[in-house]
Amino acid sequence: MAGGRSEVGHPFTGSESNRPPVGPESTEARADTPPPCLTHDPGPDHRPPLAADPDWPAVRLWRKETRARLIEQRCLISSGDRAAWSAGITERLNRLLSSHAKPLIGFYWPFRGEYDARAILAGLRDRGVRLALPVVVAKAEPLQFRAWWPGVAMTRGVWDIPIPAVGDPVSPDILLAPLVGFDSGHYRLGYGGGFYDRTVAALPIKPLCIGVGFALSRLASIRPQAHDVPMDVVITETDGPEHP
């Protein structure tokens, strides 16, 4: 995950099979900036900020190469392993999210082999949980979240990301962040856009940030920088709140 400074990344969008139908009013906007990544203000309980790294250009190149390798590896997961690992993530994520009383959860639209949280989240809606998807308003500006539910009218936003077609801005209590990579410090290698750094800073109340992905994305270190902040929790098929 990188905040503040951008890295070249992959589009943050659904695969062709995951894309919802859109009408003639859909936009096919594009941008020359990378897709959003989730992060947050670490708060008083986390380690102090890291010192600036004079070798940042080399770290940025390493992250770009590591990101590409991990995404390719993730796309090659067999259907059997994907189903089994996803079930493990679902069990842990459901346990964590069910412990919160009817929160508003900001989540991601899955692509390129990411864990798909939509089924579990749709089920939580039946218990009063509200859901929201991010919308890019402008380059270098905080994201806007709009309410989402199964069947809501969808369109395409920047980078072809499926987004609710209309809706007033909402402020999530919890954010789910897809993991490209992560380390034992809960630092997350994301897509490098930095949008969520600005977004969380602009929210009236800091949300709980949960990194979600497969354990094969674990790294010895993402080589965290001064602009990186850790996730509050990381969930994989083998990691959960009780397994830091």
> One digit per residue, pLDDT tens: the chain, 244 residues?
433 333 333 333 333 333 433 333 333 333 333 333 333 333 434 455 566 677 889 999 999 999 999 999 999 999 999 999 999 999 999 999 988 888 999 999 988 899 999 999 988 988 899 999 988 888 778 888 999 998 999 999 877 889 999 999 999 999 998 899 999 999 989 887 777 767 777 888 889 999 999 999 999 999 988 777 788 999 999 998 765 4
Task: Using DSSP bridges, classify how beta strands 181-182 and 130-135 pair: parallel, antiparallel or unpaired.
Answer: unpaired
What is the spatial distance between Cα 214 and Cα 175, in angstroms, rounded to a whole number? 17
Cα distance between residue 89 and residue 62, in whole Å: 28
- Biggest alpha carbon–alpha carbon distance for the chain: 50
Residues β-bridged to residue 145: 134, 170
What is the predicted pLDDT for the residue at 142? Answer: 83
Predicted model pTM: 0.76
* 63 vs 19: CA distance, rounded Å: 28
107, with CB counted inside 10 A (0-12, 13-18, 19+), is buried
Beta strands in the chain (DSSP E): 104-106, 130-135, 144-148, 154-156, 162-164, 169-170, 174-178, 181-182, 188-189, 208-212, 233-235
pLDDT at 75: 96
pLDDT value at position 52? 63
Q: What is the pLDDT of residue 137?
A: 86
